[in-house]
Structure 1
Amino acid sequence: MRAASLLALTTAALLTATGVATAHEARWRQTGHTTAENRVSGEGLTTLRLPGHAPELVYRNGATIPQPLKDEGWGHVGDPDSLRGYVFDVYQDTVTPTPTKKMYLVTKPDGTTTEFVHPLLPDEPAPNANAQVAATPDGQWLVSGPLGEIDRLYVSPTPFLNPRGPKTAGDLPVAARIHLDHHIRSAQGCDFVSSTRLVCATSDPYNDLYPTNLQLLQIDLPRPVNGHDVTAKVREISQVPLVSTCTGTFTPEGVDYDAGVLRVEVVPPAPCNTVTDVYSFERR
């Protein structure tokens, strides 16, 4: 899932990157920066809130995949989301040459897990079938999408939280699609910042779809997700932050929004990629 992002970081590019939070269209300002060790980070992040516990940032990485899941063929985990103490993970089949299924792993607040394996529909791309998932603020729907160039996202009822959703292991069906008025490429992480707005980070290495590569994108829906098809408007906020003492390939990954704070995960070039950069933003 880590597409080539940038071959060289120039001074001009760095200046452009640091403007991500001050671009007029963004209405976000950078309020913080931290790092996480790449042994546990680099594929996604989410804020977990459990009753009686302080909020916890949960990271995902290939090393965090439980061995039993690897044995089943789930060799890649994407950007997760969390709501009401539940954690929603998305997995890709990396064993089958042409995958025919994808998997959602739901972890309940008590720590028990349930696998929901979904047979791919004809319009669901097989490669990188699960790149990221975002729960709607009301907890009723999960919105997910694959890597590659796409023109839609997929909506499924949230297991355990939506009466229409499954409560035992099995298929997690597609209930609707969010059709995009502008293609996006390699969306590595997305999260809802309101009931009608998603923010996504891409590892798109090109600038043919938007003015810059490695975009931070805003997806606006005409109404909250309700299980019916809808067409959303997509626009670029700016380029993600690209700040490092190393030059080479940057890879944006997970996106998290919690309590008014937007976090964007960016893996810096080698050899600086021993850590993952996490940038925090708040609305201006």
Structure 2
Amino acid sequence: MRALRTASLLALTTTALLGGAGTGVAAAQGNPWHQVGHTTAENRVSGEGITTLRLPGQAPETVYRNGATIPQPLKDEGWGHVGDPDSLRGYVFDVYQDTVTPTPTKKMYLVTKPDGTTTEFVHPLQADEPAVNANAQVAATPDGQWLVSGPLGEVDRLYVSPTPFLNPRAPRVAGDLPIAARIHLDHHIRSAQGCDFVSSTRLVCATSDPNNDLYPTNLQLLQVDLARPLNGHDVTAKVRELGQVPLVSTCTGTFTPEGVDYDTPTGVLRVEVVPPSPCNTVTDVYSFERR
């Protein structure tokens, strides 16, 4: 999300790459991930989110999100920003922010079914939901029953809703997607741009936090461990830093971590990082596997 690119970092940073050797910030002790690959995607379609779509009988598809991928009818409705999506069982879950209203009062989840049809679920913001950047990312639990979303900025909680079409508690037609529970974090996080579940009780999130007051490094990859699997009731969670996301570019300036994707069948975790201008014509996508 370009609005929060306030950090300025040197290019060609030889970071620890979440576990590899380097002279930059070292990965946190006990980090279970090591880098196994790197690719790029054109920024005309990438740079806001990433997910793996698996449809029956078809090869897996990498779905990217960017402002240019927002359908014009949604823009006309005022949904001017899309966050990091997720996909499960052939469904794609997108999150949108109202960028037209000076003080937004709602956010929107767009669900694309395996047959390609879409349904909008517009949620009126509750008292503890920030109006600005209310929908930055969404992650579906491995059992498909719950969606976890969160805003940008500094927060101490994430929001849980029943998954449309997969959870009987969720609406099946356009309307409000209510909050069913909250995940209360033991440590604040700032500007989580993308999150995904890597198990029923663990999320991995990438932030564009430009500061190091909350954690030893900025631009962190964070691990969020829930006290138990989600069941529609509030739950606590412990947050710890895994290290700084990879920051490698021939350009000098500001890096922005964005989407996070975990593909369960392959066990591959991917993290998007937008490099500084003018190298930001592409998005770097780093792949990790468990050690």
Same-fold call, TM > 0.5?
A: yes
Offset from partner CA, 1:209-264 (integer Å, 9 cap, x none): 00000000000011111110011000000000000010100000000000200000
**Aligned equivalent of 1:67:** 72
Query: What displacement does 1:26 show?
Result: 1.3
8 Å CA contact retained: 1:160, 1:166: yes
Please give the root-mean-square deviation of Cα atoms over the aligned residues, in Å: 1.0
8 Å CA contact retained: 1:249, 1:269: yes
- The structure 2 residue matched to 1:228, chosen from 229, 233, 251, is 233
Query: What displacement does 1:25 show?
Result: 2.2
Query: What displacement does 1:151 show?
Result: 0.3
The unaligned stretches of length 5 or more in structure 2 are: 21-26
Give the AA of the match of 2:280: N
Offset from partner CA, 1:76-111 (integer Å, 9 cap, x none): 000000000000000000000000000000000000
**Aligned equivalent of 1:265:** 272
Name the CA distance, whole Å, in 1 between partners of 2:215 and 2:259.
20
Name the CA distance, whole Å, in 1 between partners of 2:19 and 2:169.
39
Superposition map of 1:69-148 within 5 A? 69-148=74-153
| 2:14 maps to 1:9 | no
The TM-score with structure 2 as length reference comes to 0.95
Offset from partner CA, 1:103-128 (integer Å, 9 cap, x none): 00000000000000000000000000
The unaligned stretches of length 5 or more in structure 1 are: none
3-state SS, counterpart of residue 280 of structure 2: helix
Query: What displacement does 1:5 show?
Result: 4.7
Name the CA distance, whole Å, in 2 between partners of 1:5 and 1:34.
25
8 Å CA contact retained: 1:215, 1:240: yes
**Aligned equivalent of 2:289:** 282
| 2:79 maps to 1:41 | no
Give the AA of the match of 2:5: A
3-state SS, counterpart of residue 273 of structure 1: coil
- The structure 2 residue matched to 1:179, chosen from 166, 179, 184, is 184
Name the CA distance, whole Å, in 1 between partners of 2:238 and 2:275.
30
8 Å CA contact retained: 1:18, 1:242: no
Name the CA distance, whole Å, in 2 between partners of 1:276 and 1:118.
30
| 2:24 maps to 1:26 | no
Identity of aligned residues (%): 85
Offset from partner CA, 1:24-58 (integer Å, 9 cap, x none): 32111100000000000000000000001000000
**Aligned equivalent of 1:196:** 201
8 Å CA contact retained: 2:84, 2:136: yes
Query: What displacement does 1:19 show?
Result: 3.7
Offset from partner CA, 1:124-150 (integer Å, 9 cap, x none): 000001000000000000000000000
8 Å CA contact retained: 1:5, 1:250: no
Name the CA distance, whole Å, in 1 between partners of 2:7 and 2:108.
30
Name the CA distance, whole Å, in 2 between partners of 1:204 and 1:75.
22
Name the CA distance, whole Å, in 2 between partners of 1:212 and 1:246.
21
CA distance change for structure 1 residues 80 and 10 in 2, over 3 Å: closer, same or farther? closer
**Aligned equivalent of 2:23:** none
**Aligned equivalent of 1:157:** 162
3-state SS, counterpart of residue 69 of structure 1: helix
Name the CA distance, whole Å, in 1 between partners of 2:260 and 2:117.
24
Query: What displacement does 1:9 show?
Result: 1.1
3-state SS, counterpart of residue 7 of structure 1: coil
The TM-score with structure 1 as length reference comes to 0.97
Which ranges of 4 or more aligned residues in structure 1 deviate by more than 2 Å? 21-25
Name the CA distance, whole Å, in 1 between partners of 2:259 and 2:217.
19
8 Å CA contact retained: 2:95, 2:135: yes
Superposition map of 1:234-245 within 5 A? 234-245=239-250
